[in-house]
């Protein structure tokens, strides 16, 4: 249950985290792991697991959300029955959360919408008044509406005296929205989102690392083994080839320069960043040099991606991170990381992709999206793309190369091809 104050303080600007967070860290079986470092990324609190693998994080400091305007111009909403209409100023991922008047979370939906007026059907609810929290980019709205008929909508402002009085009267604390990171030598880094509803008895299972690999810039990456293959468990972020020569950096542009146009017209190797945790985006010309990887490693071919996919299927990984004895090809969520992916809610009210069940493989795929022909970033949070070293000329597409992608609403590692000048993430595989 999300207390009313959790809704209100998100608009006022501070979420107070007062509950302790605790759990057990083990290997993939049930053997406790002692001496692991557990940290809250936003709050900064740390703990070390004991002999029994247990830890407790004492959280008593405020977590400040990202800065943003409240109720910005261009963001408005209304509701009639279970149909919500939204007007947003620019294309963005919109989050819609529904609560009852006691603050109990009833549903959560996230959809990418275009600028302008949009309509979205919410899960059916019984007659009554509900609270709705809408987030678009840096803007937030909190309002209430009746689920039956053409309801008049009351927008709640952070300047509303009634809201401030209600916030002061609330006795429970706000929700925690942070990421737990667990590290220990010889094990893959573990990251998972934590909320106020799961702050005790958290079960963390760590996966053995297959060692590390270092690129030409000195960046060190963890690796993980699948059958006879050893893969990087992180996206590549090198800025130089293995011969020491620099790769051309074409930063993300805007309307005041022509960097995006330069990116789209590039026919030589190039890369860019937009968030270091997602690694770099490379065009295929950089991949095709065969100099991105350190000695002993390479960009996987399309057939090597297929070997990974086949291994996942035959060994029973599925979307829920559980061994699937029916060996269905539902492997995407076992490859996807437990953080950063956009979540969504089915009309039944169940979470469509429970991030806590992700990443049983340790592959830790993140949804970096891609940089398109026009140089614009797209699909961050919804898709992750990774180049192969295989050109698509044999399929009659000489301007394309093969890659693989994951989507937050699908259960498959899918194959497609993209323009050589597209900006796509890269994973490396070890030479046999």
Identify the CATH number of the domain defined by range 4-65+175-205.
2.60.40.4130
Which pairing describes strands 248-249 and 270-272: parallel, antiparallel, or unpaired?
Answer: parallel
Where is 313: in which H helix or E strand?
helix 302-314
pLDDT value at position 221?
97
Can you tell me the distance from the alpha carbon of 278 to that of 383, in angstroms, rounded to the nearest whole number? Answer: 12
Domain range summary for the chain, segments of one domain joined by + = 4-65+175-205, 76-86+94-101+114-152, 212-430
Structure token pair of residue 178: 């942070």
Q: E strands of 72-228, at which residues?
A: 76-80, 83-88, 92-99, 105-113, 116-121, 129-136, 139-146, 154-156, 177-183, 190-195, 202-205, 212-214, 220-226
- Mean pLDDT per 10-residue section of the chain, whose length is 432 residues: 42 43 94 96 89 86 31 62 77 78 70 80 71 76 60 41 36 54 97 75 95 97 97 98 97 84 95 94 98 98 95 76 46 89 66 78 96 93 96 92 91 90 98 94
**C-beta atoms surrounding 375 within 10 Å:** 23
Q: Which of 61, 60, 65 is nearest to 12 (CA)?
A: 65
> Exposed (0-12), middle (13-18) or buried (19+): which is 388, by Cβ within 10 Å?
buried
Is residue 59 within 8 A of residue 40, CB to CB? The reply is yes
Integer-rounded Cα radius of gyration of the chain: 23
For the whole prediction, is pTM greater than 0.85? no
pLDDT value at position 190?
97
pLDDT value at position 197?
55
> What are the CA-CA distances from residue 125 to residues 195, 248, 352 (Å)?
25, 54, 19
What residue has token string 């490379």? 282
pLDDT value at position 168?
37
> What are the CA-CA distances from residue 315 to residues 27, 226, 307, 325 (Å)?
19, 10, 12, 8
pLDDT value at position 216?
97
């Amino acid at each position: 249950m999300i207390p009313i104050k959790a809704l209100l303080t998100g608009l006022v600007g501070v979420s107070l985290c007062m509950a302790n967070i605790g759990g057990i860290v083990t290997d993939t079986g049930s053997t406790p792991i002692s001496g692991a470092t557990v940290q809250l990324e936003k709050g900064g609190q740390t703990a070390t697991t004991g002999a029994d693998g247990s830890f407790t994080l004492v959280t008593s400091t405020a977590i400040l959300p990202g800065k943003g305007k409240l109720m910005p111009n261009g963001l408005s909403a209304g509701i009639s029955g279970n149909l919500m209409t939204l007007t947003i100023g620019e294309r963005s991922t919109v989050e819609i959360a529904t609560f009852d008047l006691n603050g109990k979370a009833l549903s959560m939906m996230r959809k990418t919408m275009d600028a302008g007026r949009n309509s979205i059907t919410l899960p059916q609810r019984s007659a009554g008044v509900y609270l709705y929290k809408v987030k678009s980019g840096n803007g937030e709205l909190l309002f209430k509406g009746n689920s039956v008929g053409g309801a008049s909508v009351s927008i709640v402002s952070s300047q509303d005296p009634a809201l401030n009085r209600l916030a002061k009267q609330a006795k429970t604390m706000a929700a925690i929205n942070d990421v737990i990171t667990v590290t220990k030598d010889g094990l893959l880094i573990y990251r998972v989102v934590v909320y106020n509803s799961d702050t005790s008895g958290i079960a963390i299972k760590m996966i053995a690392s297959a060692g590390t690999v270092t690129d030409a810039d000195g960046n060190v990456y963890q690796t993980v083994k699948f059958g006879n293959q050893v893969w990087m468990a992180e996206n590549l972020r090198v800025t130089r080839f293995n011969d020491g020569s620099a790769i051309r950096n074409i930063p993300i542009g805007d309307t005041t320069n022509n960097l995006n146009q330069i990116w789209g017209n590039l026919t030589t190797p190039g890369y860019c960043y937009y968030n270091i945790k997602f690694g770099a985006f490379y065009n295929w010309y950089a991949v095709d040099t065969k100099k991105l990887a350190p000695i002993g490693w390479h960009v996987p071919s399309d057939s090597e991606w297929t070997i990974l996919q086949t291994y996942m299927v035959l060994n029973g990984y599925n979307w829920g991170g559980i061994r699937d004895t029916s060996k269905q090809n539902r492997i995407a969520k076992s490859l996807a990381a437990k953080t950063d992916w956009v979540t969504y809610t089915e009309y039944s009210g169940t979470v469509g992709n429970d991030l806590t069940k992700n990443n049983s493989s340790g592959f830790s795929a993140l949804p970096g999206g891609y940089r398109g022909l026009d140089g614009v970033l797209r699909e961050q949070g919804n898709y992750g793309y990774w180049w192969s070293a295989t050109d698509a000329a044999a399929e009659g597409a000489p301007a394309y190369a093969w890659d693989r992608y994951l989507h937050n609403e699908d259960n498959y590692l899918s194959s497609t091809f993209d323009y050589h000048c597209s900006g796509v993430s890269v994973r490396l595989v070890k030479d046999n």
